[in-house]
Amino acid sequence: MSDDQPRPEPFAPQATPAELDDLRARLRATRWVDAPEDAGWSLGTDVGYLRELVGYWADGFDWPAQEAALARLPRFRVPIDGLGIHYVHARAVAPSGPVLPLVLTHGWPDSFWRYTKVISLLTDPGAHGADPADAFDVVVPDLPGYGYSDRPGRALDSVAVAGLWAKLMTAAGYERFGAAGGDLGSHVSRYLALDHPDRVVAVHRTDAGLPIFTGDPAELAPEEREWMQHVAAWGATEGAYAAMQRTKPQTASAGLTDSPAGLAAWIVEKLSSWSDSDGDVEQRFSKDEILTNVTIYWLTATIGSAMRMYQANSAIPVAQLTRRVEVPSGFSIFRGDVVRPPRAWLERTANVVRVTEPERGGHFAAFEEPELYAQELRDFFRPFRV
């Protein structure tokens, strides 16, 4: 590393007893909302389930144990363009061939938490019954304003974050690498491929974002038009959160930063409705797993800065949104995800070399089905190892 390169420093945050005492006091003092009889999850978060979750958060959840587990990951912070970026950097274990560096980018409402279950599967495949030749060096950053990365003074869009990640990978010691992600991480990975094609060997995504098309609708295949109608219908029934975060994020942030019960409600409803859970969130996430994700948001006070990225992305010019990715691209469209594009759209927008439709897993596939997700990445990137 040259003298002018930013230097990563090991990072192991630890919450203070005062922070945890304050959290528990707020949880125990929750002023509970009423709910119509038998509303369940139909109007948003199930209040009965939320009461269980908050009660466990206050009197059963062991954050120090979860924090210690996260501390066993090789975690660092490094200054990039004036922002401290937190990331996991886990190197391949006993590889039997060329090692491919891979940057994994999460989305909302989570952090590096999304990929915690797949890191060892990717760095040490031989220990999990897979081919040691498929080992990766894995870099998993927190987006700016998420988790333990700094909150920017003005929210950055996915284009800007892709530029940061290119510098982050240089700081981590890599000039050529693969990129993968879902949700906002799909956007960032896309712009890494678009703006740094000389460095990104291939890009893997679990979605294609929301459709933007400026041409003649007659050019679209029937399945593309049907998909766009489905996306519009989904937005009408499920898109209120995005409209809030895109237009008035500070309004919701005031309450969510002050109330841990409110924060949990905002996040757990998405874990439930976006996962392959059949309406039972604990089919996919234990209370400890949910609360680890939510507690990271609480202790770092990043729900507002995370939401503001939606506003920043809403201002990306259409000309950027409609660029075609020429870097070799792969898609794993999990059956339980919320907005599943047809292959015709994927081929319209990217140089597609592989598309699969795994039978299990939803929007948080890397956490819901870590073994399956890891195998998808091994299979896709195998031809691009050099």
Q: Find the angle CA(45)-CA(209)-CA(100) to the nearest 5 degrees.
A: 110
- Give the residue from 335, 339, 307, 117 showing the smallest Cα distance to 228: 339
The torsion of the CA quartet 235, 236, 242, 247, rounded to 10 degrees, works out to: 130
183 is catalytic: yes
Q: Find the angle CA(201)-CA(204)-CA(209) to the nearest 5 degrees.
A: 130
Amino acid 270 reads K
310 is catalytic: yes
Could you tell me if 141 and 180 are in contact, meaning their C-beta atoms sit under 8 angstroms apart?
Answer: no
Could you tell me if 171 and 89 are in contact, meaning their C-beta atoms sit under 8 angstroms apart?
Answer: no
Give the integer Cα–Cα distance in Å for 340 and 230. 9
3 state SS of 196: coil
H-run or E-run covering 137: strand 136-141
The torsion of the CA quartet 370, 376, 377, 381, rounded to 10 degrees, works out to: 170
Among 196, 310, 337, 373, which one carries the catalytic annotation? Answer: 310
Beta bridge partners of 196: none
Among 86, 157, 363, 373, which one carries the catalytic annotation? Answer: 363
Only one residue has tokens 């700094």, namely 150
Among 110, 150, 183, 337, which one carries the catalytic annotation? Answer: 183
Q: How many CB atoms lie within 10 A of CB 132?
A: 15
Give the integer Cα–Cα distance in Å for 194 and 196. 6
The torsion of the CA quartet 176, 181, 184, 186, rounded to 10 degrees, works out to: 80
148 is catalytic: no
Only one residue has tokens 């924060």, namely 263
H-run or E-run covering 232: helix 222-238
What amino acid positions are annotated as catalytic residues? 183, 310, 363
